[in-house]
Amino acid sequence: MTMISIQGKGVSTGVAMGPLYYYQRAKSTIRRYEVEDVHAEWGRFKAAQSKAIDQLGELAEKAREEAGDEAAMLFETHQMMAEDMDYEEAIENLIKEEKLNAEAAVTDTAAQFADMFAQMDDAYMQARAADVKDVSSRIIAALTGVVQGGIDSPVPVILAADDLAPSETVQLDKTKILGFITEGGSGSSHTAILARTMGIPAIIGVGNQLKPEYEGRDVIVDGSTGSVVLDADEATRNVMMAKREEQLRQRRLLEELKGQENITRDGQKIKVFCNIGNPEDVPTVLSNDGGGIGLFRSEFLYLNCSDYPSEDYQFEAYKQVLSDMGDKEVVIRTLDIGADKQIDYFQLPKEENPAMGNRALRICLNRPEIFKTQLRALYRASAYGHLGIMFPMVTSVWEVKEARKMCEQVKKELDAEGKPYSPDVQIGIMIETPAAAVMSDRLAKLVDFFSCGTNDLTQYTLACDRQNNDLGRFFNPHHPAVLRLLKMVCDNAHKNGVWVGICGELGADLELTETFLSIGIDELSVSPRAVLPLRQKIRETTVSAVKEKVLADLLADENAL
């Protein structure tokens, strides 16, 4: 076959080679037609039902191993619902009496049962509406040949997609992915973040250059240059593979830094922690010598459920992370949904501008029953390690006071119930809005730490949508306005005895390491695979030699540049 070269934008470095595979997404519209052989169609349904029940059984066992019996109960409940007699009879009637195809019969029955549950007065029964939709979606996926998790391949693949929603990245079988290519997306999309966490190459923004007929062809991707090559000729393949070998050699050299301190040549120390999305990421943190966890994105627990996760389900997940990390610090961010992270069962109203709408801490303060459940799980888990709780999307002092008040209520409840928790839980907030940065002198009096979310801080400061790859050079995380805000936050924090971290993507940007050390950042939280390259950069830096110039450039007026 003729070699084809495609150019995109690299957002996670590395070279990988494998077959190209398109992500299989369930179709939003189901075909409706009359069937001639109703008994054969009923057989199709029964086979799909059986497959769905088997999948749910496997998920239940996996959940039991990872998070205990209560986590497994969700999938076992779905198993029972999939073979519920009333549910099955309604589908059978539509197929055999109405001669409706199985996909349409399941869709109609799901809508009927979901509506019935939603009309009930009992809150528990109302919540079953989401369950019946989830079960039905699984059966429809089996009928249409769409794979749960989006990948049906016996070998690992280079995964191609238009882009992936957070709820889709949660479901992926990570063992089957060598690299990502997306038509759209941005450097701060969840696909890019997932790739960096996994340490695999990712290329975005290839547009319509990638054709459906290319599926199955051998492809080499270079995440540092954004190059995609299909059916590479021998010379190109040799160059790319040599580059891959050199990257692996450099990686082996970095292994020698394990166990070393994150300390500059002139003795300035900084903590290097890791960002994770679920308990399964912890071994990668430990194998890459992360000093702790600076950001556990707890919303991925919610994205992985078809209903609100219970207190015990969350407790088991947080407990597992804290226990596995031993005496290392673990900062868990409270629920941060809204904007690009939507969850159906929250039933959030559609917003014209969701990035500035009802999201993160705003949802928690407006729906305290959800917030309290999470806080109880967090405090109970704190007995098993060194926990910090972090509130996202803060703009005002009153929000922090309200959140802390809820923490005190939870601790009183746990005391009354005789349930243990640590007395040393640190409370922090994310600095990801200009308002929080400007108010950091007052906010510092209410918390133990700040963690700067540079993706959103850049978005809100520069009025640039972080998900819009077309903005190109306008979305500039190195913009002096962003860096000046970070310096302001550091100064205000240190005056009040508060430590400051960065948990956004800039933490791993080696071009800014000298700047962060110069302005006094205390902790950098990065993807696990970025720990050792960052440690190397820190150990090669002499802050006293660069600090004066860094600060002068940062604070210089326009005429001095």
Q: Which residues are catalytic?
A: 190, 503
Q: How far apart are CA 322 and CA 378, in angstroms?
A: 10
Number of continuous H segments (helices) and E segments (strands) in the chain: 21, 16
CB 481 within 8 A of CB 460: no
Q: At what angle do helices 38-67 and 85-96 cross, to 10 degrees?
A: 150
The neighbour count for residue 281, using CB atoms within 10 Å, is 23
Q: How far apart are CA 179 and CA 172, in angstroms?
A: 12
Six-digit token string for 320: 């597992």
3-class SS at 269? strand
3-class SS at 120? coil
Interacting residues of 418 by C-beta distance below 8 A, sequence separation 6+: none
Six-digit token string for 477: 């995380």
CB 141 within 8 A of CB 26: yes
Interacting residues of 450 by C-beta distance below 8 A, sequence separation 6+: 428, 429, 430, 431, 440, 443, 444, 489, 493, 498, 499, 500, 501
Q: How far apart are CA 108 and CA 274, in angstroms?
A: 45
Strands of 326-420 (E only): list them.
Answer: 329-333, 386-391
Q: How far apart are CA 384 and CA 100, in angstroms?
A: 54
Q: How far apart are CA 457 and CA 463, in angstroms?
A: 10
Beta bridge partner(s), residue 293: 274, 330
Six-digit token string for 94: 């539509």
- 561 closest CA partner among 463, 457, 479: 479
430 φ/ψ angles, rounded to the nearest 5 degrees = -85, 135
Q: At what angle do helices 480-495 and 543-555 cross, to 10 degrees?
A: 120
